[in-house]
Amino acid sequence: MDFQIALILGQDGITNGAIYALLALALVLVFAVTRVIFIPQGEFVAYGALTLAMIGNNVFPATAWLLLGAGVAVAALDGLGALRAGQARKLPRVLAVNVGYPLAVIALLRLLPLAELGLAVQILLAMLVVVPLGPMMYRIVYQPIAEATVLVLLIVSVASHVAMVGLGLLFFGAEGYRTPPLSDARFDLGSLSISGQTIWVVAASIVLIVALALFFGRTIYGKALRATAINRNGARLMGIPPALAGKLTFLLAALIGVLSGVLISPITTIYYDSGFLIGLKGFVAAIIGGLASYPLAAFGAVLVGLLESFSSFWASAYKEVLVFTLIIPVLVWRSLTSHHVEEEE
């Protein structure tokens, strides 16, 4: 291995690492606020990428039907709840948000000449379809059991993941897709050639991380999410509803997932089940951050990306094994350095 190969591998590693960093941040965020280990995070990557691929191929994305179905389910749950509480005046809003919105998106997808739109518009459409699935999923799956133990929530996450992979096969078929790169430019720095896509990925990740930091540091809703993560009871007493915090968190997680999918799909072919492995690598990074530290998780993500690309050069058959083996020393190190804290009742 010479210096040039190392540079190429390093570039690959950092590109993937930037995407894993986004996913790791989403996983840390979801766990901190809702105590859910969000295994379906990766499915949002695949759904985002494949929905974009469908739109690019001028095919109506079947995920829009899922959006409608989930919307109807949420409307039924929220509507019945409002009726039982004697708040029938809330019904029109519940219906407009949960059923009206998906119908509008479906109409938009039917009417627009999908393949002729610019890539940016196509990405926007894919986001309009997939991102709302995040909060809807929280409402249907997690909100009714929000007080359950971490283990129960984890098992429910596994179930949601399996269901979403199955639906993915139904929606997109077994074929894999690649979407066009966001930029075809190439920059030559001496012997190193950097693709425009790499710059896009790294820049978009940095912008998103900074935007998240500003959201959590400056806005009252961001502070409310942090407060919920720090002290659930205290947040409730301030009138911050746990359900609102949960939905907001899942909205951010879905947004991050879809953007990661858009960023990664020009680099790797995405299949209906590719999301799991990508999400799991984000999870390894999140574990390095102890599911609590954002900077450590981001650092871990770059480490995972680099380890992956270098091990694919030396021992490509073992590349996944090597990445996931990283968890063992990390867990040993964490269990030696951190004190066990009893979970608050």
**Rounded distance, CA 261 to CA 64, Å?**
17
H-helix segments, 189-293? 196-218, 220-230, 232-237, 242-264, 274-288
User: Minimum CB separation from another protein for residue 238, in Å?
Assistant: 5
139 binds another protein (CB under 8 A): no
Region binding another protein by CB under 8 A among candidate stretches 48-56, 61-69, 71-79, 233-241? 233-241
Question: Closest CB to another protein among 221 and 314?
Answer: 221
Residues 73 and 137 sit within 8 Å (Cβ to Cβ) = no
Structural tokens at position 327: 């968890």
Q: What's the gap between Cα 290 and its chain centre? A: 18
User: Minimum CB separation from another protein for residue 79, in Å?
Assistant: 18
Gyration radius of the chain over CA positions:
21
Region binding another protein by CB under 8 A among candidate stretches 72-80, 121-129, 181-189, 235-243? 235-243
User: Minimum CB separation from another protein for residue 243, in Å?
Assistant: 9
User: Minimum CB separation from another protein for residue 244, in Å?
Assistant: 9
Question: Closest CB to another protein among 240 and 285?
Answer: 240
Region binding another protein by CB under 8 A among candidate stretches 61-69, 222-230, 249-257, 278-286? 222-230
Options 83, 238, 321, 331; binder of another protein; rule CB under 8 A: 238
Region binding another protein by CB under 8 A among candidate stretches 116-124, 141-149, 183-191, 230-238? 230-238
Q: Which residues touch 58 (CB under 8 Å, ≥6 apart)?
A: 113, 114, 115
Question: Closest CB to another protein among 85 and 317?
Answer: 85
Q: Which residues touch 207 (CB under 8 Å, ≥6 apart)?
A: none
H-helix segments, the chain? 3-34, 41-56, 63-84, 91-95, 101-111, 119-130, 133-137, 150-172, 196-218, 220-230, 232-237, 242-264, 274-288, 294-314, 319-325, 327-337
Options 24, 37, 136, 227; binder of another protein; rule CB under 8 A: 227
Binding residue count for another protein, defined by CB under 8 A: 18
Question: Closest CB to another protein among 22 and 235?
Answer: 235
151 binds another protein (CB under 8 A): no
> Which of 4, 5, 14 lies closest to 203, judged by CA?
14
Residues 304 and 323 sit within 8 Å (Cβ to Cβ) = yes
Interactions with another protein, residue window 78-137 (CB under 8 A): 85-86
Region binding another protein by CB under 8 A among candidate stretches 29-37, 182-190, 193-201, 220-228? 220-228
> Residue 195 — φ and ψ, nearest 5°?
-85, 155
**Rounded distance, CA 28 to CA 41, Å?**
11
User: Minimum CB separation from another protein for residue 242, in Å?
Assistant: 9
Region binding another protein by CB under 8 A among candidate stretches 1-9, 156-164, 229-237, 246-254? 229-237
Question: Closest CB to another protein among 4 and 231?
Answer: 231
Question: Closest CB to another protein among 240 and 301?
Answer: 240
1 binds another protein (CB under 8 A): no
> Which of 165, 159, 274, 192 lies closest to 11, judged by CA?
192
What does the angle CA 320 – CA 321 – CA 324 come to, to the nearest 5 degrees?
85
Enumerate binding residues for another protein (CB under 8 A). Answer: 85-86, 220, 223-224, 226-227, 230-231, 233-241
